[in-house]
């Protein structure tokens, strides 16, 4: 399963904005490692540098020094398979002269193909395969003169998930879809203003997190400070996987620090699926906190049984199955002295295709574990994602194809327990109706007409349609 992109923005006449953005992106590296980019503006022009790889591979000291100005945006990209190319790195610049904007986006526009065709018919040209360029051209296509009005026009026509940062030569804008699928927050630093996908990016640079950018909100920042406006919203749909897995555990979303919430997920698993065992371990790093919660609730000692090689990257990042399989071995090294003869409770964040978990169980058994009891923070994933998480097609989702006992057999665990949806909501301690839970329930928080759109449904179900290959999410 992969998530899609981290965004960062800063408006501060007193700071080296390119360097701040570099460190902001560094803190958001977990959200995308395929390409990175920074655009800066100095009141007259926009400069940009993008490249393939992690942020530290893309930017040298010299390159950062040449990105001058007092406004910057940055982006870490993860994309759908097959679209890994430099032309799709973000930010991108669209428009010319005084109309030029640089834009970067986290999310997935469901009606991008439709809007793309409409814009092409109007004479707009495209140089990337991203839905980010669709957003940008839609904004520029609006006849209004005020940029906030143009953004509102685009937001009313865009269907899907988007947390966007945008600059002109003089201003910074940030806006978020009315479902609020992907996080976006506002911060301040020494009189300047920042926006970021997660608060951890603000913490690392000494900035103060002020608040969320609300679903449907448009933030505009200039020399007079921050102004806010919004478009009308409907149902909310914050992706619950931000809490389970995507966001860093030291980030705060909706006023909740994620680390203790993940501990609560582990405690919930201990309540729902207790078992006699000698040791608890969380699969590092994403389930470390949940493992701790399971141990505290159950009274079973916790230990590290797998050491993670942090420099290999997340296994789901790899584009094909063969490399994904290799990735698990490259990623974890077991500690046989800790595991030999032990009955283990192993807490993990999720099972998607069911390709990684059997390898983890195999590694643990080979290292001497007597029993392996898998406990999973996410309920069974039975439906694909409409909002840009490239988890799998329905056919590939193991919980859509097998019962829980069959999955237990398949992964070769002694027992398998998933946290219930009620247990998950109790752990995150927020109202259920603000979340998207569609990959567990099939209840998508999108307009009915889109659910009825057979083409979109087929495209998402098969990953072969124009919504998935022609226009990439970000």
Residues that are catalytic: 5
Is residue 243 at the binding interface for ligand SF4, with CB under 6 A as the rule?
A: no
State the greatest distance between any 2 C-alpha atoms of the chain, in Å, as a whole number.
71
Report the candidate in 196, 317, 298 with the shortest Cα–Cα distance to residue 248. Answer: 196
Q: How many separate helices (H) and strands (E) can be counted in the chain?
A: 20, 23
- Between CA 173 and CA 73 the distance in angstroms is 10
For residue 415, the minimal CB distance to ligand SF4 (Å) is 25
Q: Between residues 167 and 439, which has the closer beta carbon with respect to ligand SF4? A: 439
Is residue 240 at the binding interface for ligand SF4, with CB under 6 A as the rule?
A: yes
Q: Residues 401, 409: contact at Cβ < 8 Å?
A: no
Q: Residues 427, 419: contact at Cβ < 8 Å?
A: yes
For residue 279 the two structure tokens come to: 């040791």
Phi, psi of 158 (to 5 degrees): -80, 135
For residue 441, the minimal CB distance to ligand SF4 (Å) is 9
Give Cα 163 to chain centroid, integer Å. Answer: 10
Is residue 438 at the binding interface for ligand SF4, with CB under 6 A as the rule?
A: yes
Is residue 361 at the binding interface for ligand SF4, with CB under 6 A as the rule?
A: no
- Between CA 449 and CA 454 the distance in angstroms is 10
Phi, psi of 472 (to 5 degrees): -90, 145
Total number of residues that touch ligand SF4 (CB under 6 A): 11
Is residue 389 at the binding interface for ligand SF4, with CB under 6 A as the rule?
A: yes
Span near ligand SF4 by CB under 6 A; candidates 62-70, 221-229, 338-346, 433-441: 433-441
Q: Between residues 192 and 237, which has the closer beta carbon with respect to ligand SF4? A: 237
For residue 436, the minimal CB distance to ligand SF4 (Å) is 3
- The sign of the torsion formed by the CA atoms of 31, 37, 39, 40 equals positive
Residue among 5, 165, 181, 425 that touches ligand SF4 (CB under 6 A)? 181
- Between CA 106 and CA 115 the distance in angstroms is 18
Positions in 125-164 near ligand SF4 (CB under 6 A): none
Q: Between residues 161 and 194, which has the closer beta carbon with respect to ligand SF4? A: 161
Residue among 173, 175, 294, 387 that touches ligand SF4 (CB under 6 A)? 387
Is residue 110 at the binding interface for ligand SF4, with CB under 6 A as the rule?
A: no
List, in order, residues 6 or more apart from 146 with CB less than 8 Å away: none
Q: Between residues 139 and 397, which has the closer beta carbon with respect to ligand SF4? A: 397
Span near ligand SF4 by CB under 6 A; candidates 259-267, 286-294, 313-321, 430-438: 430-438
Span near ligand SF4 by CB under 6 A; candidates 62-70, 193-201, 313-321, 436-444: 436-444
Residue among 151, 196, 239, 419 that touches ligand SF4 (CB under 6 A)? 239
- Between CA 386 and CA 444 the distance in angstroms is 8
For residue 465, the minimal CB distance to ligand SF4 (Å) is 17
Q: Between residues 91 and 473, which has the closer beta carbon with respect to ligand SF4? A: 473
The DSSP secondary-structure symbol of 44 reads S
Q: Between residues 201 and 438, which has the closer beta carbon with respect to ligand SF4? A: 438
The DSSP secondary-structure symbol of 362 reads H
> How far from 372 is each of 117, 211, 250, 308, CA to CA, in Å?
52, 42, 29, 19
For residue 261, the minimal CB distance to ligand SF4 (Å) is 15
For residue 4 the two structure tokens come to: 């899609």
For residue 76 the two structure tokens come to: 């870490």
Residue among 283, 439, 456, 459 that touches ligand SF4 (CB under 6 A)? 439
Residue among 200, 218, 385, 446 that touches ligand SF4 (CB under 6 A)? 385
Q: Between residues 302 and 419, which has the closer beta carbon with respect to ligand SF4? A: 419
For residue 179, the minimal CB distance to ligand SF4 (Å) is 9
Q: Residues 352, 1: contact at Cβ < 8 Å?
A: yes
Residues that bind ligand SF4 (CB under 6 A): 181, 239-241, 385, 387, 389, 436-439
């Amino acid at each position: 399963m992969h998530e899609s992109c981290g965004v960062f923005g800063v408006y501060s006449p007193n700071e080296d904005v390119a360097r701040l953005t570099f460190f902001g992106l560094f803190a958001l590296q977990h959200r995308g490692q395929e390409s990175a980019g920074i655009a800066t503006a100095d009141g007259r022009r926009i400069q940009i540098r993008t490249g393939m790889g992690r942020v530290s591979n893309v930017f040298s000291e010299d390159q950062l020094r040449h990105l001058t100005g007092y406004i910057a945006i940055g982006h870490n990209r993860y994309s759908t398979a097959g679209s890994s190319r430099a032309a799709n790195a973000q930010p991108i610049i669209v428009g010319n002269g005084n109309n030029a904007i640089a834009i970067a986006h986290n999310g997935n526009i469901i009606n991008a193909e439709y809007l793309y065709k409409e814009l092409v018919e109007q004479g707009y040209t495209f140089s990337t395969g991203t839905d980010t360029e669709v957003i940008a051209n839609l904004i520029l296509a609006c006849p209004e003169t005020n940029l906030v009005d143009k953004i509102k026009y685009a937001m009313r026509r865009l269907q899907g998930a988007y947390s966007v940062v945008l600059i002109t030569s003089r201003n910074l804008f940030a806006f978020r879809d009315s479902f609020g699928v992907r996080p976006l927050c506002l911060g301040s630093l020494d009189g300047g203003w920042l926006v970021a996908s997660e608060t951890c990016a603000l913490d690392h640079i000494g900035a103060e997190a002020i608040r969320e950018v609300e679903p449907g909100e448009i933030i505009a920042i200039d020399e007079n400070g921050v102004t806010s406006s919004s478009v009308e919203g409907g149902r909310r749909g914050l992706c619950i996987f931000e809490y389970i897995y995507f966001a860093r555990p030291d980030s705060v979303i909706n006023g909740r620090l994620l680390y203790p919430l993940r501990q609560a997920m582990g405690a919930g698993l201990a309540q729902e699926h207790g078992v006699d065992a000698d040791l608890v371990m969380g699969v590092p790093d994403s389930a470390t906190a949940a493992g701790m919660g399971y141990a505290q609730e159950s009274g079973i000692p916790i230990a590290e049984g797998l050491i993670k090689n942090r420099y290999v990257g997340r296994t789901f990042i790899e584009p094909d199955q063969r490399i994904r399989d290799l990735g698990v071995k490259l990623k974890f090294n077991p500690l046989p002295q800790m595991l030999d003869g032990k009955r283990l409770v192993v807490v993990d964040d999720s099972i998607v295709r069911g390709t990684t978990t059997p390898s983890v169980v195999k590694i643990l058994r080979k290292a001497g574990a007597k029993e392996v009891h898998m406990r999973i923070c996410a309920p069974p994933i039975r439906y694909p994602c409409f909002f840009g998480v490239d988890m799998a097609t329905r056919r590939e989702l193991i919980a859509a194809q097998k019962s829980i006992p069959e999955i237990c057999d398949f992964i070769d665990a002694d027992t398998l327990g998933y946290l219930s949806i009620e247990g998950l909501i109790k752990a995150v301690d927020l109202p259920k109706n603000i979340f998207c839970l569609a990959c567990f329930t099939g209840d998508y928080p999108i307009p009915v007409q889109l659910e009825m759109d057979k083409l979109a449904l087929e495209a998402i179900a098969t990953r072969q349609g124009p919504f998935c290959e022609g226009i990439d999410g970000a």
